Amino acid sequence: MRDIPLAINPKSHRFIDQLRMFIRAQNLAYSTEKTYIGWILDFIRFQNLKHPNDMGREEIEQYLNFLSVQRHCTKSTQRTALNALVFVFSKFLKRGDLGRFDYISAKRPPKIPTVFSHHEALLVINHLEGKFKLMAQLMYGTGLRISELLRLRIKDIDFEMNNIVVRSGKGGKDRITLLPSVLKKTLKDQIDLVAALHKQDLNDGYGEVYLPNALAKKYPSAPRQLAWQFLFPSGSISEDPRSGIKRRHHLDQSVLAKKIRSAIRMSNIHKKASSHTFRHSFATRLLENNYCIRTVQELMGHSDVTTTEIYTHVTKQGKAGVKSPVDL
């Protein structure tokens, strides 16, 4: 239940608790909250536990230089840290416009992503069974992140329009991706299994599901409706850490990740691959098949096309690009 926001005492005077409440008041995604909290805590530790009220531009620049020179972070990581600190100081602490910072920009280029060939992707998928095989097929066939996949609810699958709605993806944005036709039958079977499990939960006195952003108050009957149930529910009922209500959440991310790592080993694929490699492979296959990069950007949910362009470096290799002189 790692995607359920932590409970906060509204009367707490702790800096981090007040910052969490402020972030939630801005209606930012919980993933954004965790990112900002993580960076501000790292910043405070770097400055020997000084309170942010006693720090400013100089300390921020010191930290950004540390990330570049000593931690060797990528440019995007350094930028994420900067965004988090600017949010905390300019908006939460109300320091106003902080102006331009003088710091050493990270130089390490972004890594070229690890990608499965189509044959390798199918090998891994075929070493999985049941719902785990379906989940891997969905990641490879839609470009979903593992967290987005596990948060899917039955209502997000639109068989008539042939699409899948991704709610609150990275950056808190919604988007639409495609629904592979070959998976329709299996998905309908999975929904039937969820419906039977949900019916049993209702008979046992449970049947509610967690709804984010106070939706449960707006739609009081929704938590018990089939449409709102997770597409890949957990195998057991668990207790909500905030309310104490016993619910069936979605499958834990670590369970699927472990299954996929095992399938990669059994496939004898000697790459630094993981569940996220399916997402990289999805984008690469589309570009290899000459789909417009803007279309791929939208399906992937990238806010900047330069993020999508990294996959063009992969497609230029091997059979899709230049031939080695020894092959001529």
Three-class SS string for the chain?
CCCCCCCCCCCCCCHHHHHHHHHHHCCCCHHHHHHHHHHHHHHHHHCCCCCHHHCCHHHHHHHHHHHHHCCCCEHHHHHHHHHHHHHHHHHHCCCCCCCCCCCCCCCECCCCCCCCCHHHHHHHHHCCCHHHHHHHHHHHHHCCCHHHHHCCEHHHEECCCCEEEECCCHHHCCEEEECCHHHHHHHHHHHHHHHHHHHHHHHCCCCCCCCCCCHHHHCCCHHHCHHHCECCECCCCEECCCCCCEECCECCHHHHHHHHHHHHHHCCCCCCCCCHHHHHHHHHHHHHCCCCHHHHHHHHCCCCHHHHHHHHHHHCCHHHCCCCHHHC
Question: Quick one: pLDDT at residue 108?
Answer: 67
Q: What is the pLDDT of residues 109-168, one digit of tens each?
A: 667 889 999 999 999 999 999 999 999 999 999 999 999 999 999 999 999 999 999 988
Over 60: is that where the pLDDT of 32 sits? yes
Over 80: is that where the pLDDT of 93 sits? yes
Among residues 127, 131, 145, 198, which one is catalytic? 145
Q: Is 170 a catalytic residue?
A: yes
Question: Quick one: pLDDT at residue 324?
Answer: 65
Q: Residue 325 — very low, low, confident or very high, per pLDDT cuts 50/70/90?
A: confident
Q: Is 14 a catalytic residue?
A: no
Among residues 127, 153, 170, 249, which one is catalytic? 170
Q: What is the pLDDT of residues 166-186, one digit of tens each?
A: 988 777 788 999 999 999 999
Question: Quick one: pLDDT at residue 181?
Answer: 94
Q: How far is CA 83 from the centre of its chain?
A: 18
Please state the rounded mean pLDDT for residues 81-91: 94
Q: Is 20 a catalytic residue?
A: no
The HSE-up count of residue 203 (CA atoms within 13 Å, CB side) is: 6
Question: Quick one: pLDDT at residue 312?
Answer: 81
Question: Quick one: pLDDT at residue 320?
Answer: 53
Give the angle 216-218-224 at the CA atoms, nearest 5°. Answer: 40
Task: Return the minimum-mean-pLDDT range out of 121-125, 194-198, 274-278, 303-307.
Answer: 303-307
Q: Residue 321 — very low, low, confident or very high, per pLDDT cuts 50/70/90?
A: low
Q: Is 276 a catalytic residue?
A: yes
Q: What is the pLDDT of residues 222-258, one digit of tens each?
A: 889 999 999 999 999 988 776 778 899 999 999 999 9
Q: Is 118 a catalytic residue?
A: no
Among residues 248, 259, 279, 280, which one is catalytic? 279
Q: Is 145 a catalytic residue?
A: yes
The reply to whether the predicted model has a pTM over 0.75 is yes
Among residues 57, 167, 246, 276, which one is catalytic? 276
